Amino acid sequence: MSPENGPLAGLKVVEFAGLGPGPFAAMLLADAGADVIRVDRPAGPVDGGALTRGRPWIGLDLKAPEGLATAWDLVRRADVLVEGFRPGVMERLGLGPRECLAENPRLVYGRMTGWGQDGPRAREAGHDINYLALTGALRSIARRGEAPVPPLNLVGDYGGGGMMLAFGLVTALLERATSGRGQVVDAAMVDGVSLLMTGIWSRAAQGRWSDVPGTNDIDTGAPFYDVYATADGEYMAVGAIEPQFWARLLDGLALSFPEQWDRARWPEMKARIAATFATRTRADWTAVFADRDACVTPVLSLAEAPRDAHLAARGTLEPRPDGPQPAAAPRLDRTPLRAREAGNLGDALDRWGLAVAGAR
Active site residues: 127, 157
- How many Å apart are CA 319 and CA 301, to the nearest integer? 16
Rounded Cα distance, 346 and 226, in Å: 52
What does residue 352 show for φ and ψ, rounded to 5 degrees? -85, -5
Sign of the torsion angle spanned by Cα atoms 344, 47, 150, 26: negative
**Secondary structure element (H or E) that encloses residue 185, with its range:** strand 184-188
Q: Is the peptide bond before 267 cis (omega within 30 degrees of 0)?
A: no
Non-local (6+) Cβ contacts of 333 within 8 A are none
Identify which of 100, 161, 105 has the alpha carbon closest to the alpha carbon of residue 131.
161
Distance of alpha carbon 88 from alpha carbon 84, whole angstroms: 11
**Of the candidates 13, 56, 58, 17, which has an alpha carbon nearest to the alpha carbon of residue 32?**
13
Question: Three-class SS string for 74-116?
Answer: HHHHCCEEEECCCCCHHHHCCCCHHHHHHHCCCCEEEEEECCC
Residue 13 DSSP symbol = E
Which residues partner with 108 through β-bridges?
80
Cα–Cα distance between 262 and 144 in angstroms, integer?
18
